[in-house]
A and B are shown apart, each in its own frame.
Chain A
Amino acid sequence: AQSVSQHNHHVILSEAASLELGCNYSYGGTVNLFWYVQYPGQHLQLLLKYFSGDPLVKGIKGFEAEFIKSKFSFNLRKPSVQWSDTAEYFCAVLVYGGSQGNLIFGKGTKLSVKP
């Protein structure tokens, strides 16, 4: 069955520290991968996505992710976090059933950045 695993439930960092959030997926079809962010009290918003091509994907707000097919991974990185990055981060894979695609999400990683 399709699934997404996020290794860290809660990550606490100080400002300027580097961030890496792990994501592994299980899906046998064409892989379309996403990272979404949910700031407190706000809607889920797309950080970045991978469909094909360069496995290193750059997103908004200085985030990037690397697709490693052999490891079924799509880890999210940021070289230097800010207090405003405090949020919950969700990795997702797009799965297809006929003409319909839907997202399978991981359980999320809560990031707390200390000023």
Chain B
Amino acid sequence: ETGVTQSPTHLIKTRGQQVTLRCSSQSGHNTVSWYQQALGQGPQFIFQYYREEENGRGNFPPRFSGLQFPNYSSELNVNALELDDSALYLCASSLDRGNTEAFFGQGTRLTVV
């Protein structure tokens, strides 16, 4: 186990709805990164949070947003869900912004119908 926990494990939403995914980082880690893993693909970087601030973003639209809390846990919010948002969403925590060693959670499987 990595000490990174994500909830929920599975989720089904309807197109147009909004969703919030949660991640509890490993103890002592102040950096959380989120990745989207579509079926048959490798994980793609969405954004990173460091000490409650967004600290870098991949090629994802603004309807993907996040938060990081004082205890370094994090949320990923997706508005106006589209069918293509169906994927495994992975959270990774690390000791530093450089992400020299990232520990991944088991992911949340989101299905948009």
Nearest-Cβ distance from residue B25 to partner chain A, whole angstroms: 13
Q: How far is the CA of A42 from the CA of B44 in the complex (A)?
A: 18
Q: Does A61 contact B (CB under 8 A)?
A: no
Do residues B43 and A101 form an inter-chain contact, with CB atoms below 8 A? no
- On whether the beta carbons of B98 and A43 are closer than 8 Å, the reply is no
> Is there an interface contact between A97 and B56, defined as CB atoms closer than 8 Å?
yes
Which chain B residues lie closer than 8 Å to A32 at the CB level? Answer: 100
Given the interface contacts A43-B4, A90-B43, does A102 sit within 8 Å of B58 by beta carbon?
A: yes
- Is there contact, CB below 8 Å, between B40 and A94? no
Contacting residues, chain B, for A92 (C-beta < 8 A): 42
Report yes or no: A108 in contact with B56, Cβ–Cβ below 8 A: no
CB distance from B87 to the nearest CB of A (A): 13
Q: Contact check, A107 vs B41: say whether CB atoms are below 8 A apart.
A: yes
Q: CB-CB < 8 A to A72: which residues of B?
A: none
0 or 1 for each of A35-47: is its CB under 8 Å from B? (1 = yes): 0100000111110
Chain A residue with the shortest CB-CB distance to B31 = A100
A-B contact pairs, 20 of them (CB 8 A): A32-B100, A43-B4, A43-B90, A43-B105, A45-B2, A49-B101, A94-B99, A94-B100, A100-B56, A100-B97, A100-B99, A102-B45, A102-B48, A102-B99, A103-B99, A103-B102, A105-B35, A105-B43, A105-B44, A107-B40
Write the chain A residue with the least CB distance to B40: A107
Of residues 11 through 52 on chain A, the ones whose CB sits less than 8 Å from some CB of chain B are 32, 36, 42-46, 49, 51
B89 proximal to A (CB < 8 A): no
The 5 nearest A-B residue pairs measured at CB: A105-B42, A100-B56, A44-B104, A101-B99, A101-B98
Question: Quick one: which of A80-115 are within 8 Å of B by CB?
Answer: 90, 92, 94, 96-108
Partner of B42, one of A46, A100, A108: A108
Contacting pair A43 B107 (CB below 8 A): yes
Task: State the CA gap A99–B33 with chains docked (Å).
Answer: 14
Chain B residues, Cβ within 8 Å of A90: 42-43
B50 within 8 A of A: yes
Residues on the A chain within 8 Å of B101, using CB: 46, 49
B43 touching A103, Cβ below 8 Å: yes
A76 within 8 A of B: no
